[in-house]
Amino acid sequence: MEKTKTGKQKPAYGMASNCAFMIRRAWRECKGVLSVCAGLIFCGVAASQLELFVVPAILDAVEGGAAPGALARLILWFTLGMVLVRSLRAYLDENTIFGRILVRSSLCLDLHMHFCRTSFPHTEDPDYIKHTKKASKCLDSNGDAGEAIWKTLTDLATNVISFVIYLLVLSQVGPWVALLCMALSAASYFAGERIRVWRYNRREEEAALLHKLDYVIFRSRDMELAKDIRIFGIGPWLTELYDKYTRLYQDFYAKSMRYYLWADLLDGVLALLRNGAAYGLLIAMALRGELGAAEFVLYFMAVSGFAQWVTGIFTQLGILHRQSLELSTLREVMDTPEPFQFEGGKPLPVKDGHLYQLELRDVSFRYPGADADTLSHVNLTIHPGEKLAVVGKNGAGKTTLIKLLCGLYDPTQGQVLLDGEDIRQYDRRDYYKHFSAVFQQFSVMAGTMAENVAQVRGDKVDLPQVWDCLERAGVADKIRELPQREDTHLGREVYLDGVDLSGGQMQRLMLARALYKNAPVVVLDEPTAALDPIAESDLYQRYNDLTGDRTSVYISHRLASTRFCDRVLLIENGGIAEEGTHEELLKQGGRYAYLFDIQSKYYKEGAMEDE
Ligand code: ADP
């Protein structure tokens, strides 16, 4: 969204553009949606005209001394017409839903595919996340803009056509009757609109209240929190919060209802004025003999109906305006430019057996919305086949460094190079193929153990390879014990017979997954965080075997774990504070040696106390 001069957000797409977008979409996905709309417009207009003309036509026939047979035929035709139009409308109404859902689903699919495939930085960008939440809101249900717009367009067209017909009828009485009706109907609409705008402008306030309420409800029902809720007695706190936000929402709701009440009252008064003046005039004309009974009834009905069309047009335009804003947000999200190249980038196939060199050249990086750089002017070359350890305190920027190396973020300044070439030119998905990683937070699927290692559907899994990786990751024995071995499902969210693994076992399974991928660069971010000391030391000893001659980066806050690496980097204050082998750094007697000393003292003292 652009900003207007007043600082308000201006949608990138206008109402006409959004209507055209939806019509194009329906034309592509389900043309039936458009023909059903056309049918409904026809029925709506036809029904209103039949209702308007039926009584005057019968009166006219009676006044004209029509024979009983002709009168009966006239009534029959009108009745038949009504029955046909109403049946057709009911039939079409019943059949609106499927096509409209189809069109909405196609938009949902596009939006979800966009989320799934978007560049990684978007997934952590609060602005983007907020925008996408808003965008998906317009596709949530049948009543949201992505589907409800068809009803709005149908109603709008019906109102406009009927309005024109009624206008022609009323202008027979005199132009100012039509003008009076139009002016007072418009006044009553705008009075109501002020109230609707008031409510609309407070939707953020309403959304924030509902969001907090939803949050409390969601956290109270979250099974993963059940332990904490019981042990820390969080129940009363949650109940208090629930009461507080329910009360606030009730107050908000009551306030808006009071506004609506005033709007309804004003509407009533204006309707009284409008109808009173018009009816008064018609009665005066009838008394003066200027109008026959049939004309009198026709104009009388036209006056009361006219206001309905004028209000209808304004109301539908108001609704369309809001729906258009929501659709604009949806389109803006789908059009958000990708910071990374994908299909358009240079292909980068993995070269078998090739040892890659990675380089950060004068790299600085700042997270979106942050007010300082996390990394600043970092220069680092990871040589082909080198085993690099990255150490530093929590929050020093180790994971950020890895995200940059893996191409999950681009530096705010500087370059990341693979074999001397800037990685920005490549298809980013090809680049990712070069990395086997175990991150601290990982995603697993409710598939089998084997599928989670291989990351493909069961029939495509290379089983011997899976077992080899499970073995090397040190989790094969555990998988062998499971009821269906590698075919046992992971987690119980989907499969009742699924099995949950402990944190350490899960970390090993993720290691097996990284090994299975067999990519030329291995990245392990705190891979021993959930392992017991024996498993941890086992991993250190087998690190060379696990990574082979591949380039690898090992992150840890445990300085002792870096001995088996060719080089150690200490990250501090947004940069590389020290680098060298473990022994060199100890000899240097700087920060690394100091931190190592503290850590080893703690372990030694702990061990002595244990003894
Ligand atoms: P480490 O891995 O050394 O513990 P990180 O690289 O995870 O540190 O984080 C470095 C700094 O960047 C921290 O101050 C952290 O709060 C911040 N940070 C990490 N991830 C994000 C993010 N997605 N958005 C904003 N700030 C972040």
Q: Which atom of ligand 1 is nearest to the CA of 394?
A: 4
- Residue having the nearest C-alpha atom to atom 7 of ligand 1: 399
The two beta strands, 567-572 and 551-556, are unpaired
Q: Is the shortest distance between the CB of 574 and ligand 1 below 6 Å?
A: no
Tell me: pLDDT of 251 over 70. Answer: yes
Residue-wise over 331-358: b if at least 16 C-beta within 10 A, else e?
bbbbebeeebbeeebeebeeeeeeebeb
How many CA atoms, within 13 angstroms, populate the side-chain half-sphere of residue 520? 22
> What pLDDT sits at residue 602?
65
Residue to substitute in 127, 374, 409 for testing ligand 1 pocket (most ligand atoms within 8 angstroms of CB) = 374
Q: Is the shortest distance between the CB of 400 and ligand 1 below 6 Å?
A: yes
Nearest-5° Cα angle at 404, 348 to 547:
70
Confidence band for 530, pLDDT divided at 50, 70 and 90: low
Q: Is the shortest distance between the CB of 367 and ligand 1 below 6 Å?
A: yes
Angstrom distances, CA of residue 269 to CA of 185, 188, 272: 11, 9, 5
- Residue having the nearest C-alpha atom to atom 22 of ligand 1: 367
| Mean pLDDT (the chain, rounded) | 86
| Mean pLDDT for the stretch of residues 67-76 | 89
> What pLDDT sits at residue 444?
78
Q: How far apart are CA 330 and CA 75, in angstroms?
A: 51
- Are 252 and 209 within 8 A, CB to CB? yes
Q: Which atom of ligand 1 is nearest to the CA of 124?
A: 23
pLDDT digits (tens, 9 = 90+) for 183-201: 877 787 777 777 767 766 7
DSSP state of 494: S
Nearest CA-CA partner of 447 in 513, 496, 494, 509: 494
pTM given for the model: 0.76
Tell me: pLDDT of 240 over 80. Answer: yes
Q: Is the shortest distance between the CB of 375 and ligand 1 below 6 Å?
A: no
Q: Is the shortest distance between the CB of 394 and ligand 1 below 6 Å?
A: yes
Q: Is the shortest distance between the CB of 405 and ligand 1 below 6 Å?
A: no
- Residue having the nearest C-alpha atom to atom 27 of ligand 1: 367
Three-class SS state of 332: helix
Residue-wise over 505-519: b if at least 16 C-beta within 10 A, else e?
bbbbbbbbbbbbbeb
Q: How far apart are CA 530 and CA 533, in angstroms?
A: 10
Match 């900003």 to its residue by tokens.
Answer: 3
The two beta strands, 387-391 and 421-422, are unpaired
> What pLDDT sits at residue 378?
92
Tell me: pLDDT of 610 over 50. Answer: no
Out of 67-76, 153-162, 548-557, 598-607, pick the least confident: 598-607
N-to-C CA span, the chain: 66
- Residue having the nearest C-alpha atom to atom 13 of ligand 1: 395
Confidence band for 221, pLDDT divided at 50, 70 and 90: confident
Q: Is the shortest distance between the CB of 392 and ligand 1 below 6 Å?
A: yes
DSSP state of 298: H
Q: What are phi and psi of 414, to 5 degrees?
A: 95, -170
pLDDT digits (tens, 9 = 90+) for 111-145: 999 988 999 999 888 888 888 888 888 899 989 99
Confidence band for 611, pLDDT divided at 50, 70 and 90: very low
- Crossing angle (nearest 10°) for helices 96-117 and 293-335: 20
Out of 208-212, 438-442, 463-467, 527-531, pick the least confident: 527-531
pLDDT digits (tens, 9 = 90+) for 291-311: 888 888 888 888 878 878 887
The two beta strands, 575-580 and 567-572, are antiparallel
> What pLDDT sits at residue 417?
95
pLDDT digits (tens, 9 = 90+) for 137-184: 889 998 999 999 999 999 999 999 999 998 888 888 877 777 887 787
- Are 150 and 327 within 8 A, CB to CB? no
> What pLDDT sits at residue 196?
65
Tell me: pLDDT of 538 over 80. Answer: no
> What pLDDT sits at residue 5?
45
Tally Cβ neighbours within 10 Å of residue 126.
10
Confidence band for 276, pLDDT divided at 50, 70 and 90: confident
> What pLDDT sits at residue 609?
46
Q: Is the shortest distance between the CB of 396 and ligand 1 below 6 Å?
A: yes
Determine the distance separating the centroid of ligand 1 and the alpha carbon of 408, expressed in angstroms.
Answer: 14
Any alpha helices (H) in 369-521, and if so which ranges?
398-405, 428-432, 449-454, 463-473, 476-481, 503-517
> What pLDDT sits at residue 9?
60
> What pLDDT sits at residue 300?
86
Percentage above 70 pLDDT, the chain: 95
pLDDT digits (tens, 9 = 90+) for 18-39: 999 999 999 999 999 999 999 9
> What pLDDT sits at residue 6?
42
Q: Is the shortest distance between the CB of 329 and ligand 1 below 6 Å?
A: no
Determine the distance separating the centroid of ligand 1 and the alpha carbon of 302, expressed in angstroms.
Answer: 68
- Residue having the nearest C-alpha atom to atom 24 of ligand 1: 367
Q: How far apart are CA 399 and CA 164, in angstroms?
A: 66
Confidence band for 428, pLDDT divided at 50, 70 and 90: very high
